[in-house]
Amino acid sequence: KEAGRANGFGGGCPGGRSMVVNSEMCCFCFDVLYCHLYGYQPPRSPRFTNDPYPLFVTWKIGRDKRLRGCIGTFSAMNLHSGLREYTLTSALKDSRFPPMTREELPRLFCSVSLLTNFEDVGDYLEWEVGVHGIRIEFINEKGSKRTATYLPEVAKEQGWDHIQTIDSLLRKGGYKAPISSDFRKTIKLTRYRSEKMTLSYSEYLAHRQHHHYQN
């Protein structure tokens, strides 16, 4: 689970290659959620690529774009089935929030993040705020292995430096003991990047209307 920021049609693309993520993916997520909330048949398979990617679906709501749900997977999933699954999982099963209702639809923003460029790094500080997402693995005070992640935009959005981000992630992952410099050095950290697209509900409706007239 993680908070992404709805910040327009953003998304970096390392190496200058063309982006895979596109607005049609966000439209598909809205289609899936709309059909579920209104009891319609699920939408047909979309036309965009069905290549496998690790992915996150983020919902925000209202003018202040408050987080409403965000869940994803680090396992590569074919995009058609992955977006179907995580659209509903993030909207209905994020334990931080009650299940989404149809009354909320008009105020929603949907973001799709495709995760790329995973790198295991030896130093927990070896990542760049605003560029990399990070996933940490650590042993908690009870001896259990735990993990937690923040998408690339989170630390920048919150105004955190490296230490603040790591400490927040540890708390998010359930670590309750005091956090020392020595403990931080035991963390296993993976950094990654993401391609991100965000669409509001009104943009979704306009996109669908335009698409309908084209067909």
Hey, where are the domains in the chain?
Answer: 19-116+195-214, 117-192
H helix runs in the chain, sequence order: 23-38, 79-92, 152-158, 162-172, 181-184, 201-214
Q: Is 62 left (phi over 0), alpha (psi -120 to 50) or beta?
A: left
Please tell me whether residue 7 adopts helix, strand or coil conformation.
Answer: coil
Please determine, for residue 31, whether its predicted confidence score (pLDDT) is greater than 50: yes
pLDDT value at position 174? Answer: 94
| Cβ atoms of 6 and 62 closer than 8 Å | no
212 pLDDT higher than 80:
no
Q: Which residues contact 12 (CB under 8 A, 6 or more apart)?
A: 131, 152, 193, 194, 195
CATH superfamily of the domain spanning 117-192: Hypothetical protein ph0010; domain 2 (3.30.1490.150)
Which residues does 62 contact at the CB level (< 8 Å), separation at least 6? 107
Provide the pLDDT for residue 208. 86
Residue 18 pLDDT level (bands cut at 50, 70, 90): confident
Residue 103: Cβ within 10 Å count: 8
CATH class of the domain defined by 19-116+195-214: alpha beta
Sign for the pseudo-dihedral over CA of 4, 56, 32, 203: positive
Instruction: Report how far residue 65's alpha carbon sits from residue 59's, in angstroms, rounded to the nearest whole number.
Output: 9
- Which amino acid appears at position 39 of this protein? G
Residue with tokens 């009354």: 103
Q: Tens digit of pLDDT for each residue in 48-76?
A: 999 999 999 999 999 999 999 999 999 99
β-bridge mates for residue 200, sequence order = 109
Q: What is the mean pLDDT of residues 114-135?
A: 96
Q: What does the pLDDT average to over 170-175?
A: 95
Mean pLDDT across 191-214 = 87
Reduced to 3 states (helix: H, G, I; strand: E, B; else coil), residue 70 is strand
What global pTM score does this model have?
Answer: 0.85
How confident is the model over 191-215, as a mean pLDDT? 85
* 184, two tokens: 């931080």
Which of 197, 208, 142, 202 has its CA nearest to residue 19?
197
pLDDT at 10 over 90: no
Task: State the distance between the two ends of the chain, measured CA to CA, in whole angstroms.
Answer: 37
| pLDDT greater than 80 at residue 165 | yes
Residues 6+ apart with CB under 8 A from 44: none
Q: How far apart are CA 81 and CA 16, in angstroms?
A: 28
Q: What's the mean per-residue pLDDT of the chain? A: 91
